[in-house]
Chains A and B, each alone.
Chain A
Amino acid sequence: MHPELQQSPRNILVFEKSNFMNEKSRHDLHVLKHYFNYKVSVFIPECGILPSELNDAISRFTKYYLVKDLPVHELLEEECLEKTVKKGRFYALSYNRRIDQDDVVAILPTGQMILSVNKDTYEQLGLEGKESQYTHKQPMRYVVTVDLTDKSMLPGSKRYNRVLWALKEKVPVKMDFLLARHSTEANEGGMLPSCLSQYHCRELQASISTQKLSSLPYPVLCSCDIRGEGYCEPHQFLEWLGAVTMEIDCNNDATSFMSTYSCPEQHNTLSQALLCSITGLLLPEDIQSLLEKLRSYFEQPKLTSWLSLVVHGFADSPVSWGMEEHGFHKGGENFYGFVVFGNQDYWLHMGTGANDGCPP
Chain B
Amino acid sequence: MRQADQRQEPAAYERLVYKNASEYHYMKISLIFEKEGKRLEAAFFKQLIISALRDLYGEVGAAFPFDVLKFDEASLTAILRVYSSGLVKLWSALTLLGSYHNESCAVRVTQVSPFLLALSGNSRELVLN
- Assess A11 versus B15: contact at CB under 8 Å? Given A66-B128, A305-B2, A343-B8: no
Instruction: List 4 extra interface pairs beyond A241-B117, A242-B117, A345-B10, CB under 8 A.
Output: A11-B115, A14-B17, A235-B21, A333-B113
- Assess A235 versus B18: contact at CB under 8 Å? Given A18-B11, A18-B13, A22-B10: yes
Instruction: For A346, give the chain B residue with the smallest CB separation.
Output: B11
Q: How far is the CA of A171 from the CA of B115 in the complex (A)?
A: 38
In the complex, whether A264 has a CB less than 8 A from a CB of chain B is: no
In the complex, whether A297 has a CB less than 8 A from a CB of chain B is: no
In the complex, whether B69 has a CB less than 8 A from a CB of chain A is: yes
Chain A residues whose CB sits within 8 angstroms of the CB of B8 once the complex forms: 223-224, 343, 345
Interface hits, B63-92 → A, CB 8 Å: 65, 67-71, 79, 81, 84-89
Q: Is there contact, CB below 8 Å, between A12 and B17?
A: yes
Q: Is there contact, CB below 8 Å, between B116 and A246?
A: yes
In the complex, whether A60 has a CB less than 8 A from a CB of chain B is: no
Instruction: For B64, give the chain A residue with the smallest CB separation.
Output: A6
Q: Is there contact, CB below 8 Å, between B23 and A235?
A: yes
Q: Which applies to chain B's interface (DSSP): helix, strand, loop or mixed?
A: mixed
Chain B residues whose CB sits within 8 angstroms of the CB of A310 once the complex forms: 117, 121
Instruction: For B42, give the chain A residue with the smallest CB separation.
Output: A258
Chain B residues whose CB sits within 8 angstroms of the CB of A239 once the complex forms: 24, 115-117
Which of B18, B67, B71, B89 contacts A12, CB < 8 Å? B18
Chain B residues whose CB sits within 8 angstroms of the CB of A10 once the complex forms: 19-20
Instruction: For A25, give the chain B residue with the smallest CB separation.
Output: B13
Question: Could you give 10 example pairs across A and B, Cβ below 8 Å?
Answer: A12-B18, A17-B12, A22-B13, A234-B18, A235-B21, A239-B115, A239-B116, A257-B46, A280-B126, A331-B118
Which of A4, A314, A343 contacts B5, CB < 8 Å? A343
Which of A1, A17, A248, A351 contacts B118, CB < 8 Å? A351
Q: Is there contact, CB below 8 Å, between A243 and B69?
A: yes
Q: How far is the CA of A269 from the CA of B88 in the complex (A)?
A: 36
In the complex, whether A13 has a CB less than 8 A from a CB of chain B is: yes
In the complex, whether B6 has a CB less than 8 A from a CB of chain A is: yes
Chain A to chain B: the 8 pairs with minimum beta-carbon distance, closest first = A312-B121, A242-B116, A242-B117, A333-B118, A19-B10, A38-B123, A39-B121, A11-B114
Which of A227, A302, A312 contacts B123, CB < 8 Å? A312
Q: How far is the CA of A303 from the CA of B12 in the complex (A)?
A: 25
Q: How far is the CA of A318 from the CA of B1 in the complex (A)?
A: 42
- Assess A16 versus B14: contact at CB under 8 Å? Given A1-B61, A246-B70, A258-B67: yes
Q: Which applies to chain A's interface (DSSP): helix, strand, loop or mixed?
A: loop
Instruction: For B47, give the chain A residue with the smallest CB separation.
Output: A257
In the complex, whether B31 has a CB less than 8 A from a CB of chain A is: no
Chain A residues whose CB sits within 8 angstroms of the CB of B13 once the complex forms: 16-18, 22, 24-25
Instruction: For A301, give the chain B residue with the smallest CB separation.
Output: B2
- Assess A14 versus B67: contact at CB under 8 Å? Given A333-B118, A341-B5: no
Chain A residues whose CB sits within 8 angstroms of the CB of B32 once the complex forms: none
In the complex, whether A98 has a CB less than 8 A from a CB of chain B is: yes
Q: Is there contact, CB below 8 Å, between A353 and B114?
A: yes
Chain B residues whose CB sits within 8 angstroms of the CB of A21 once the complex forms: 10
Which of B14, B18, B88 contacts A6, CB < 8 Å? B88
Chain B residues whose CB sits within 8 angstroms of the CB of A84 once the complex forms: none
